[in-house]
Structure 1
Amino acid sequence: MPAITEPKLISGNANLSLAKAIARRMSMHRGMSQKLVDARVERFNDQEIFVEVYENVRGEDMFIIQPTSNPANDNLMELLIMTDALRRSSAARITAVIPYFGYARQDRRSKARTPISAKLVANMMVEAGIERVLTMDLHAAQIQGFFDIPVDNLYASPIFALDIIHQLRDRLGDVMVVSPDVGGVARARELAKRINAPLAIVDKRREKPGEVAEMTVIGDVSGKVCIIVDDMCDTAGTLCKAAEVLMEHGATEVHSYISHGVLSGPAVERITNSVMKSLVITDSIEAPAPVRNAPNIRILPTAPIFAQAILNIWNGTSVSSLFDNETLSPIYEGIL
């Protein structure tokens, strides 16, 4: 069905730079100016969130760009309150563009008497009036089933594949993709297929959350340029330890490609002092100055793929087509 309304973008405070970049990319694709809807998202003195939309949005196709990253609760509430403001202003459809979906790690009951917070967050979003979700690299793919509305889950691996082919084009024959744990094998295999590389696994055992007791490498990494791939990096303890273990097993270089750079606590210092040659993350979470200034951290843009996905949703065309190199390569031409 052809689009009869214009796509309109509105952003909270979580990642305003990404929202502006998406608007710029959409302007390029459409050949016309695409700006963020004029609004204010502020806090009262007691930290209550207040939203006011200055433009008419009646009957419009609205896209709220708001990752629920740190501070997760504040950014989640901003998303819900913006949704309520748009719904009460008679927007035709509200799509939440959530580059990083917070609470995704709480996707099951790992112990007795624990919550499934990801399901609770999904219920809150639907109840607030969100009619569609666009996100990237959910921690667990089954979270899509927590929603009773359409969820489009984009993948960073096609972007990573393009970057690896560009950065390591002279040594692709020596590249080996490594999963930092058994649970991430499917994600690592997907990237390995895209660059036609073999796969290894680092098996880790935890004594308690945040601490890794033992690591074993499954596969021969000697003489290989190892690419660790994962969906998120928090304190970077596991990532740095995995890089050390790979180097001890004969790897010539270790690079890491992580979809979401949470990078809390001592993460940046650990990465700067680690044996990793580079850590590559996306801009799904707005990077603070220490991350941007770190010598061995690079940030890949997600605005091109999100802009095209938003346009495809607005036009009613395929979002999964963006997973193919033939479709994605022109979007990222001249960027990577």
Structure 2
Amino acid sequence: MIVSGSASQALAAALARHLEEPLAAVEYDRFPDGELLAAVPGVAEAEPDRAVIVASTVSSDAHLEVLQLQDAVREAGVEEVVTVLPYMGYGRQDDAFEPGHPVSARAVARAISTGSDRVLTVNPHEAAVCDFFEPTATAVDAAGRLAEPLPADLTDPVFLSPDAGAVDLAETVRDTYGAGDIDYFEKTRHSGTEVEISPSDVDVAGRDVVVVDDIIATGSTMSEAVAVLEDRGVDRVFVTCVHPLLARDAVTKLSRAGVEAIYGTDTIERGVETVSVAPVLAAHL
């Protein structure tokens, strides 16, 4: 049985179809005092051997929903609980950045582990966060899915990552697409909001560029990278990412920078997703 968090309903439905498993009815409510309730009515009567909870933790409320859904299916007698975090919130806080700061990824991983027999998460920003789960979570690579929506007629394409850390993602997308060069920008982060982009030596004049990253949050770094490409005479620029967080005015920033199209997956349901990670998740289930 597939059980959906409120932020992952489309992905949960797609996964249910791929696995040919029933999609549970789930109720989400909020009490007058602000407390949440996520319930799975009918699960006890269905008597499934396994419940797969699919929930991107895009907010603190979404984290609490996961814990409640885990507890609800356990209470109903389900023997195996698998928790799928298509997008793991707080996953980028994998270290104590200053004295007295928490390792937030560890804190949320510990909480989610208590109610789950297995955890899957899609392309975590830092792979090490999987070690915070008990047992260790499985990182599912969905980068190859990002090649599917790209135009078939890209001109001498360059697959470009905003920093060296995302080169593997760019290579996976390029390899799946079947043609193109790889390069990256040097990115220096001066603070939580200030990032300096240093151009690489790649020749993009008259070529199509696909900028690949694991997550686009505010779009500021990505739009700076696109501006550099525009100065170098790039033809078309496409932006693709696994997790289209796209907070605040990110879409506007990227569009104003000259991006032809923004592609993402359904790990975060933001309206730009064009490809589902359901097939790669199904392969691990």
TM-score by length of 1: 0.77
* CA offsets 1:243-293 (integer angstroms, 9 cap, x no match): 110121232221111111111111122123221111111111122xxxx3x
3-state SS of paired residue (2:22):
coil
Q: d(CA) in 1 for partners of 2:278 and 2:34?
A: 30
Give 2:234's aligned residue. Answer: 251
Number of residue pairs aligned between Structure 1 and Structure 2? 282
1:90 aligns to 2:77 (yes or no): yes
Given that 1:179 and 1:228 are in contact with CA atoms closer than 8 Å, whether structure 2 keeps it comes out as yes
1:61 aligns to 2:62 (yes or no): no
Q: Which amino acid aligns with 1:23?
A: A
3-state SS of paired residue (1:208):
coil
Q: d(CA) in 2 for partners of 1:197 and 1:302?
A: 23
Q: d(CA) in 1 for partners of 2:5 and 2:223?
A: 33
% same residue: 29
Give 2:163's aligned residue. Answer: 181
Q: Which has the larger share of helix?
A: 1
TM-score by length of 2: 0.90
Q: How does 1:218-297 map to 2 (within 5 A)?
A: 218-287=201-270, 292=271, 297=272
Gaps of at least 5 residues in structure 1 are 1-7, 28-33, 314-336
Give 1:154's aligned residue. Answer: 140
Given that 1:39 and 1:52 are in contact with CA atoms closer than 8 Å, whether structure 2 keeps it comes out as yes
2:189 to 186, 189, 206: 206
* CA offsets 1:218-256 (integer angstroms, 9 cap, x no match): 433233211111011111111111011012123222111
Q: d(CA) in 2 for partners of 1:122 and 1:222?
A: 45
Give 1:14's aligned residue. Answer: 7
Given that 2:54 and 2:84 are in contact with CA atoms closer than 8 Å, whether structure 1 keeps it comes out as yes
Given that 1:67 and 1:285 are in contact with CA atoms closer than 8 Å, whether structure 2 keeps it comes out as yes
Given that 1:180 and 1:228 are in contact with CA atoms closer than 8 Å, whether structure 2 keeps it comes out as yes
Mean CA deviation greater in 14-23 or 212-221: 212-221
Given that 2:149 and 2:274 are in contact with CA atoms closer than 8 Å, whether structure 1 keeps it comes out as no
3-state SS of paired residue (2:234):
coil
Q: 1:64 to 1:214 in 2, by over 3 A?
A: closer
**Residue 214 of structure 1, CA deviation:** 4.2
* CA offsets 1:113-134 (integer angstroms, 9 cap, x no match): 322111111111112x211112
Q: d(CA) in 2 for partners of 1:162 and 1:250?
A: 26
**Residue 101 of structure 1, CA deviation:** 0.9
Q: d(CA) in 2 for partners of 1:84 and 1:202?
A: 45
Q: Which amino acid aligns with 1:303?
A: A
Q: Which amino acid aligns with 2:173?
A: L
Q: 1:52 to 1:163 in 2, by over 3 A?
A: closer
Q: Which amino acid aligns with 1:35?
A: P
Q: 1:82 to 1:181 in 2, by over 3 A?
A: same
3-state SS of paired residue (1:257):
strand
Q: d(CA) in 2 for partners of 1:163 and 1:227?
A: 12
3-state SS of paired residue (2:97):
coil
1:300 to 259, 275, 279: 275
3-state SS of paired residue (2:148):
helix
Q: 1:51 to 1:171 in 2, by over 3 A?
A: closer
Give 2:121's aligned residue. Answer: 135
**Residue 144 of structure 1, CA deviation:** 1.5
Pairwise CA RMSD: 2.1
Q: 1:112 to 1:184 in 2, by over 3 A?
A: farther
Q: d(CA) in 2 for partners of 1:301 and 1:190?
A: 16
1:48 aligns to 2:35 (yes or no): yes
Given that 2:49 and 2:80 are in contact with CA atoms closer than 8 Å, whether structure 1 keeps it comes out as yes
1:25 to 10, 13, 18: 18
1:118 to 102, 105, 118: 105
